[in-house]
A and B are shown apart, each in its own frame.
Chain A
């Protein structure tokens, strides 16, 4: 079964790009992917995450072409963003803002200069050592997008990239490999929202790799929002390279699907860089969501702060693995990580592993992890004020993650997310309204 997965996806990758450097890149990826071994429960990085729903499903097909006019396109109310729409791995020109299309180029449409830039950067941030899905993405890039922000430029409007998957009428399974490459030159600033959605019940597998290079003194605000339906399997890699005094602010949201796995790697390559990362996962039903984060401190005088919170409902399962690695020369590093989890039912499960690996002595690192249920006293307090048990549960659960939502750099995104998250706990609409208003 597992070997079949590799051969089927290799077969799918056998199309040549007209760009010679890209097809060479793909070929190198294919060679590595051909040797890839499907991880099992004994593979440390996949210990709690079973790939059965992926390897046993029928996903090794090209994505169907869909008429964009039939799909409802997502919108984030109240945010003045430049929207770019990718449907089933195809850049949709009609649905995208013209200005966004000026900024972001499809690999195939890149000018020679841009091609040289892409060729020089692509794959260097992720490296070649990633897991097999990273190799798969290298082997077969369906939608390759490139964004370059030149020196000293500040992009006021956020870039909103919607990755939409939608099935054809037969609802056959399909695979999409998306790739995003972002380069922020010295002192540039940008906000990138990666927004993944599946509009209806489907069997799709999205394998998304995003690479960000944040230049000296540059600043990146990054949202990675996964709001897919249950049948949209998702494996994502986000790699962020920070140069001198660079700044990264990231927010990662995963609602959960049958299988969602995210690997986020932040490399502090040169001194003075700072990263701030927050994340929320709220799986329900039988969903599985897995976050593997890795903060690499390779240089001295860098700071990082990471906060992830999760609420597990029904029979869902979540995995969190937060790793901080302090390399030999990374003296004077300050690194912190916190992971808090709420289990709402007897059948939900959480496996968390905050890791520290430290090779420098003059550093301050701390991590904390907690797992618990809603506090009895808090529940009682609310109930004693006439709030029903169910509503109290929702309010407290919501409050648990709302702290992170409140801290988002863009208020509009918080306002847009609150009702979505409140719905997640399956509550009455008037309570949603209250929550949405922040009362």
Chain B
């Protein structure tokens, strides 16, 4: 077992040996980011040398890059040397021991969302094993997946068990240099999920990060890699509707999806990170790079419900490389109080007869700002390609803002692009109609908002859709009237 001193010595000597494992618990690396930090994180995870090198390369490139400033958001400049990049997972004993110790406000929200009691405990960080046997549930799932040949494990584990897949695909969809935050993630990513669906397999269940809830927290620099081999199918859920508290202010995740020929990936996200208080203090900065590559006849579908985070900067994209591939993007982004969101998608049509659909619904309330930023590009090879984009904004309150920035680029005459955007408010007529039928204002607004988002909610897995509806209701509380 290595001691602190030994680790420090290793860092000082820059002599990292592959496979080094440390069992030291609960420690947080001092703030700052240098090559040593990167080596330290890699060493902590016992990564092989190629992985460390990859991280270091990313780090060196990151140093040369600049923070992007084009997004329609304002936040104080982040001092990257002020952040701690590694925090060992806290052991379960540190958390609250029973629901009595949990913030009652949080519990009230769980109740409204209709989350079962044992799940509430898990979410609140109570040592669940003692309460209900989630391990056995997880194990059952794991057995079932193994039977189908599906690989679903933390990416740090996959680095050891399936290095050939990681080496081949990591950074293949989102290159290291892609953007500032992606490069940072490559250098210091903490953990995340790795999924591989073998040829022709239809994943027997919806995969969810939720199953891994009492495993180590993935931390602020999450990295997800999903590979669907030829003819396979997978549906993946990320996040959950319950509010997530986190001490880390900066989140820079990278998600890469690879859909090989005839494969289908459906990726759903519900993001409800801490949005900051009503005065706009605190809250998570969520700078995410999500991208999928679709090969011949493949289909990738992104569905997202974004209600949390103080600042969101997120553009799940599809590169439609193969002929006849399909990309879809369904999004509901809600901002309230002082939240800021700049979100949208990119559809890059490279192959023939590729199709993409974008349905984006933005709701802004309070003093928030909500922007849709999208790119549809038809490259010279995109013969017969088709895109349909609809982005609607709903404004609640006279101090909020809604923006639409769609970029449409076409280099092929047979490609057809349609873009439509509207912005409106909940009209007095609509409210009046509901009210004269005995529905109070708040309920009426939430009904109208739910109706506004219906097209997106119907794309979510069912339980999620119900929760998402309730989530909007909660997020909008107090913003009307």
The answer to whether A and B belong to the same complex is yes
- A residues sitting closer than 8 Å to B (CB atoms) are 44, 48, 328, 331, 341, 343-373
A403 to B416, CA, bound (A): 21
Closest beta carbon of chain A to B353's beta carbon, Å? 15
A48 to B407, CA, bound (A): 11
Q: Are A370 and B404 in contact (CB under 8 A)?
A: no
* Contact flag A360-B398 (CB < 8 Å), given A366-B421, A373-B414: yes
B residues near A368, Cβ cutoff 8 Å: 418-421
Judge if B408 is at the interface, Cβ distance under 8 Å.
yes
A residues near B395, Cβ cutoff 8 Å: 358, 360-361, 363
* Contact flag A354-B421 (CB < 8 Å), given A331-B398, A361-B395: yes
Q: Are B406 and A370 in contact (CB under 8 A)?
A: no
Q: Are A341 and B401 in contact (CB under 8 A)?
A: no
A352 to B424, CA, bound (A): 23
A residues near B417, Cβ cutoff 8 Å: 369-372
Closest beta carbon of chain A to B84's beta carbon, Å? 33
B residues near A369, Cβ cutoff 8 Å: 406, 408, 417-419
Q: Are A358 and B411 in contact (CB under 8 A)?
A: no
A116 to B424, CA, bound (A): 44
Known: A346-B413, A364-B424. 15 other contacts (CB 8 A): A343-B413, A348-B411, A348-B413, A353-B408, A356-B393, A357-B401, A357-B403, A358-B423, A360-B398, A361-B400, A363-B395, A364-B423, A365-B422, A368-B418, A370-B417
A residues near B402, Cβ cutoff 8 Å: 356, 358
A residues near B412, Cβ cutoff 8 Å: 343, 346
Q: Are A353 and B424 in contact (CB under 8 A)?
A: no
A residues near B405, Cβ cutoff 8 Å: 353, 355
Judge if B410 is at the interface, Cβ distance under 8 Å.
yes
Judge if B397 is at the interface, Cβ distance under 8 Å.
yes
Q: Are B416 and A372 in contact (CB under 8 A)?
A: yes
* Contact flag A351-B408 (CB < 8 Å), given A357-B403, A358-B402: yes
Q: Given A349, A355, A372, A373, which contacts B403 in the complex, CB threshold below 8 Å?
A: A355
| A372 and chain B: residue at smallest CB distance | B416
Closest beta carbon of chain B to A334's beta carbon, Å? 11
A354 to B413, CA, bound (A): 20
Interface residues on B, range: 35 or more
Judge if B234 is at the interface, Cβ distance under 8 Å.
no
Q: Are B410 and A350 in contact (CB under 8 A)?
A: yes
* Contact flag A362-B421 (CB < 8 Å), given A44-B70, A353-B406, A356-B404: no
A residues near B419, Cβ cutoff 8 Å: 354, 367-370
Judge if B27 is at the interface, Cβ distance under 8 Å.
no
A328 to B399, CA, bound (A): 7
Judge if B227 is at the interface, Cβ distance under 8 Å.
no
A362 to B405, CA, bound (A): 20
Judge if B270 is at the interface, Cβ distance under 8 Å.
no
Q: Given B399, B406, B416, B423, which contacts A366 in the complex, CB threshold below 8 Å?
A: B423
Q: Are B423 and A346 in contact (CB under 8 A)?
A: no
A341 to B415, CA, bound (A): 11
A residues near B70, Cβ cutoff 8 Å: 44
| B428 and chain A: residue at smallest CB distance | A362
B residues near A370, Cβ cutoff 8 Å: 416-419
Judge if B129 is at the interface, Cβ distance under 8 Å.
no
B residues near A355, Cβ cutoff 8 Å: 403-406
| B412 and chain A: residue at smallest CB distance | A346
B residues near A356, Cβ cutoff 8 Å: 393, 402-404, 421, 423
Judge if B425 is at the interface, Cβ distance under 8 Å.
yes
A residues near B407, Cβ cutoff 8 Å: 351, 353
B residues near A362, Cβ cutoff 8 Å: 398, 425
Q: Given B393, B400, B416, which contacts A371 in the complex, CB threshold below 8 Å?
A: B416
A44 to B70, CA, bound (A): 8
A residues near B348, Cβ cutoff 8 Å: none
Q: Are A358 and B393 in contact (CB under 8 A)?
A: yes
* Contact flag A361-B410 (CB < 8 Å), given A44-B70, A369-B419: no
A79 to B182, CA, bound (A): 61
Judge if B143 is at the interface, Cβ distance under 8 Å.
no
A354 to B411, CA, bound (A): 18
B residues near A350, Cβ cutoff 8 Å: 408-410
Q: Are B396 and A349 in contact (CB under 8 A)?
A: no
| A336 and chain B: residue at smallest CB distance | B422
Q: Are A341 and B410 in contact (CB under 8 A)?
A: yes
Q: Are B410 and A371 in contact (CB under 8 A)?
A: yes
Q: Given B380, B408, B420, which contacts A346 in the complex, CB threshold below 8 Å?
A: B380
B residues near A366, Cβ cutoff 8 Å: 420-423
A residues near B420, Cβ cutoff 8 Å: 366-368
Q: Pull 20 A–B residue pairs with CB atoms less than 8 Å apart, ordered by A.
A: A347-B411, A351-B408, A352-B409, A353-B405, A355-B405, A356-B393, A356-B402, A358-B423, A360-B395, A361-B398, A361-B400, A363-B395, A365-B422, A367-B404, A368-B418, A370-B418, A371-B378, A371-B410, A371-B417, A372-B416
Closest beta carbon of chain B to A195's beta carbon, Å? 31
Closest beta carbon of chain A to B6's beta carbon, Å? 47
Most chain B Cβ neighbours within 10 Å, of A328, A361, A369, A373: A361
Most chain B Cβ neighbours within 10 Å, of A44, A345, A364: A364
